[in-house]
Amino acid sequence: MSNPCIICVAITGSLPTKTNNPAVPITVSEQIESTHEAFEAGASIVHAHVRNDDQTPSSDPEKFAALKEGLEKHCPGMIVQFSTGGRSGAGQARGAMLELRPDMASLSVGSNNFPTRVYENPPDLVDWLAAEMLAHDVKPEIEAFDLSHILKAHQMWQAGQIAQVPYVQFVMGVKNAMPVDRDVFDYYIRTVQRLFGPDAPWCAAGIGAQQATLNDWAVAAGGHARTGLEDNVRLDRDRLAPSNAALVRRVVELCDKHERPVATWRQARSILGLRAGPEKEQAA
């Protein structure tokens, strides 16, 4: 049975800086170059935040527009996913880039604790972000920091606030949120399959040293995998990751180990029910 594994690369995030790892891409041109290398290594989704020149998080739609244009030029077919996460701005500023119509955007549907603060996702903002995604034909990726977020996504789907079967990403290992716990992970999978169907795709992400653990669990269990410097800047205790592509290659090795092909961008678009991608590339 062939069940291609979609590799998502979270290139930048809003926290790591060049002090943590000089390979973290900050400027738009660095982001495009880093993504291109990760795309060639096997990633088919890029999850992106943008930064100001001083490395602080930004939600500037002009930066997102420049990034999208460069990614579409240099990584044709790759799925572009923008973050609407809460570190880069407050309230509706978090969704100001949705009118650029990226293929996907992250969507947090509930609140939880983060390492040093509350990650606030009040119901009216969640509803607004979901409505913007519907209006602009942007597929949400539901960031499940907690079990309740999976059930909330189901309610939103039933209510017509999410167009297609929700694509859920389990996030584990964020301090003060859900720890890395195998029983919970298995229950997350069962819950997705019960609510969204046995073949519903899902993804998982682990933070820090747990990234490799969640990659291994997800690939082995038939899910999709997220990696990248946003979640983890190290290869192991002693070595910084030299690039986003190096972290992608680590997931490719896990796909080999668990005998799963790495999804091409065309396969990834089909699995996720996305727009087909650039037609001029169809013959390639």
Interface residues with Zn ion (CB under 5 A) are 83
Q: Which residue is nearest to Zn ion (CB)?
A: 83
Smaller CB separation from Zn ion, 195 or 203: 203
Q: What is the DSSP letter of 93?
A: G
- Can you tell me the distance from the alpha carbon of 68 to that of 15, in angstroms, rounded to the nearest whole number? 21
Smaller CB separation from Zn ion, 83 or 215: 83
Instruction: Please list the residues that pair with 169 across neighbouring strands.
Output: 143, 203
Q: Residue 161 is which amino acid?
A: Q
- What minimum distance in Å lies between the beta carbon of 84 and Zn ion? 9
Smaller CB separation from Zn ion, 107 or 246: 107
Smaller CB separation from Zn ion, 130 or 195: 130
| 220 touches 213 (CB < 8 A) | no
Q: Which residues contact 95 (CB under 8 A, 6 or more apart)?
A: 84, 105, 128, 129, 132, 133
- Can you tell me the distance from the alpha carbon of 233 to that of 256, in angstroms, rounded to the nearest whole number? 23
Q: How large is the greatest C-alpha to C-alpha distance in the chain, in angstroms?
A: 50
- What minimum distance in Å lies between the beta carbon of 167 and Zn ion? 15
Smaller CB separation from Zn ion, 83 or 227: 83
- What minimum distance in Å lies between the beta carbon of 258 and Zn ion? 25
Tokens coding 86: 């809460």
- Can you tell me the distance from the alpha carbon of 273 to that of 169, in angstroms, rounded to the nearest whole number? 16
- What minimum distance in Å lies between the beta carbon of 205 and Zn ion? 9
- What minimum distance in Å lies between the beta carbon of 47 and Zn ion? 6
3-state helix, strand, coil in the chain (%, to 5): 40, 15, 45
- What minimum distance in Å lies between the beta carbon of 14 and Zn ion? 7
Smaller CB separation from Zn ion, 195 or 241: 241
